[in-house]
Amino acid sequence: LIASMAKLLFLIICLLHLMACVWYYIGSSKEAEGWVLFHEIDEREFLYRYWTSFHWALCQFVGTMEVMPINLEERMFAVATLLSAFAISAAFVSSFTSSMTRLNILSGNDSKMFSDLRQYLIDKSISRKLTLRVQRNAHHALTEYRLNSPESEIELMQMISDPLRMEVHFELYEPVLSNHPLFSVYTQEAPTAIRKICHQAIDCTFLSTGDVLFIDGEVPDPPQMYFVTKGSATYTQTSAVKTKMKEGTWIAEPVLWCSWIHRGVLRAGAECHLMRLDAGVFQCIGPQFITASFNPGLYATMFVDALNHQLEDRVLSDIDVNSTAQKVVDDVFVLKEAPVENSTGSRESGLFANLFNRMTLRMTKVINPEALKGLQNAKGKPRDVADTESEVSEEA
């Protein structure tokens, strides 16, 4: 609102400048004696002449001054200026008053909300340190709310067609998703799927300085993958090794492919914006867009294999420390499988036919909460994808 009022004032000043220049040009014309010669200011310094003209222009909106029209041209311009100033000043005053009223209302609402919050914290005997954190977070949340209003509160966004909203979400979220190697390939090979993922499976949240998103040993509910879109966060494991998560990095990818327990603590180091990818919705959308040229199920299988190998070395982490995603993408999508013929006579990838459905079944089988603490089979060996597949077959 303050910026809007400043903009209005700047426009008025520009208009006054233009009027002053035209007024001086008419008054200094050689064809007829004008106000410049009449008041003998043609030989005065430039700034005096300019501010005299500017003063006259300002007086057309409010007030009077000693400079008066002398000839017909000046009189006609003065009349036209007064008529224009009447309409312009009315619009300006109306807009300015409206902005001031809105600003006062917002300021009053803000003061009341923060007053109620302070009183609540005092009544509940909350410590001063925590009170300051709560107030700082509330102030940040209010600022973010006004800068990034939720889409649900933008009335016209709810009226536009669903396909158009999908395109809006795609432009918002796809650049962030494409920082991940798999989703970069996904966008090229299955753009329709990515559009639906952006439309249905993604939302945003933010953390204030010091906020903890998850802790070591926590089972995510609901399971979500995170992308840092602004600010930074710090990921810490029990070994006290800290990793700074900057813009474009991602956290907790394993929730997309298997049952998972967080392996460290994620804490916001500064005001941090996160994009959240819901694992449940993603797993529902994936099988709807299967093509012979792109197989995310195969990526999932090899990614979980990599997790099981990391489990042997006890290096499981919520973050991609060893560039596992890039390595798996290189292995999966560089190698091409030989096509085979299915029962209907059409040709498709050999491992492709039911892989995404098998991957979905494997979600709850490959790595579970107990397994993450010590994932071993009856023979005392690390349990991997092959073990899980044999169990699934036996259960079937």
- Per-residue pLDDT tens digits for 293-318: 788 888 999 999 998 888 776 778 99
- Which pLDDT score is estimated for 239? 65
Among 29-33, 41-45, 276-280, name the one with the lowest average pLDDT: 29-33
pLDDT over threshold 60, residue 8: yes
Backbone dihedral angles phi then psi of residue 272, each to the nearest 5 degrees = -125, 130
pLDDT at 30: 62
| Residues 111-140, mean pLDDT to the nearest whole number | 87
Regarding predicted confidence, which is higher, 329 or 5?
A: 329
Q: Dump pLDDT digits (tens) for 164-202.
A: 999 999 999 999 999 999 999 999 988 999 999 999 999
**Quick count: other Cβ atoms within 10 Å of Cβ 60?**
22
Which residue would you say has higher pLDDT here, 378 or 13?
A: 13
Mean pLDDT of 345-366: 38
* Cα dihedral 190, 191, 192, 195 sign: positive
C-alpha–C-alpha distance, residues 24 and 312, integer Å: 86
What residue type is 2 in one-letter code? Answer: I
Helix axes 128-147, 72-123, angle to 10 degrees: 140
To the nearest whole percent, how much of the chain has pLDDT over 90? 27
Percent of the chain, pLDDT > 70? Answer: 81
Of these ranges, 88-92, 140-144, 195-199, 202-206, the one predicted with the greatest mean pLDDT is: 195-199
pLDDT of residue 135: 87
The residue among 207, 349, 186 whose CA lies nearest residue 276 is 207
Section 110-130 average pLDDT: 87
Q: In what order do the strands lie in the sheet with 224-230?
A: 202-207, 272-278, 224-230, 250-251
Distance CA 33, CA 27 (A): 8
Per-residue pLDDT, averaged over 263-271, amounts to 88
- The continuous run of DSSP H or E covering 230 comes out as strand 224-230
Question: Global pTM?
Answer: 0.61
Instruction: Tell me what the mean pLDDT of segment 336-361 comes to.
Output: 39
Q: Are strands 347-349 and 339-341 parallel, antiparallel or unpaired?
A: antiparallel
Torsion of Cα atoms, 317 then 319 then 325 then 327, to 10°: -70
Q: Give 236's strand partners.
A: 242, 265
Average pLDDT, the chain: 78
Helix 296-312, helix 355-362: angle, nearest 10: 40
Three-state DSSP state, 226? strand
List, for residues 72-88, the tens digit of each pLDDT value. 777 788 878 877 877 77
pLDDT of residue 391: 41
The single-letter DSSP state of residue 337 is P
The pLDDT value given to residue 334: 66
